[in-house]
Amino acid sequence: MIKIVPDANVLISGMFGFPSYPRKIISLALAKEVILYGSQETFDEFCRKVRLPKFKRYWDAQIFTPEKMISDYRTLINMREPFDTLVDINIVKSDPDDDKYFRLAKVCGAKWIVTGDKEVLKIKKYGNIQIITVADFVKSYTQLKQSKLP
């Protein structure tokens, strides 16, 4: 099974359900084709972001609620805690807060961090962890599945 650490923005975009690459990641997780991982840190970030005013139009239209998306997060995401893994290492120099995704990937054995964050994408690879855009992951999914990556 392919293990992925998605960032909060990928999950939020995918949960809105509009046809998109992030939605395909959610669909793959629901079909149990990939495993999505998160931690308390990534959950907290998701909760903060899902309540941002830029999403108010969806709440007003009663299409989604922050509470429903937070509940869905708990259903979709396998929670792991990195504890003190990689704590003394600064990977994303411009935004050390994003290091949480690398700590999580290391702990759960994920080979992929799926993100749209330009600063995280600059890393490209950290050890055996690949940093990839959502579009690139979805486009190469068939290839990944055929290679039977853990």
pLDDT > 90: what percent of the chain?
A: 63
Q: Which residue has the tokens 């937070």?
A: 70
Q: Which residue has the tokens 């055996």?
A: 128
φ, ψ of residue 12 in degrees (nearest 5)? -60, -50
What domains does the chain contain, in order, with CATH numbers?
2-146 (3.40.50.1010)
- Give the model confidence (pLDDT) of 29-49 as tens digits: 999 999 999 999 999 999 999
- Give the model confidence (pLDDT) of 58-77 as tens digits: 888 777 789 989 999 999 99
Report the b/e string of 31-69 with b at 16+ CB within 10 A.
eeebbbbbbebbbebbeebbeeeebeeeeeeeebebeeb
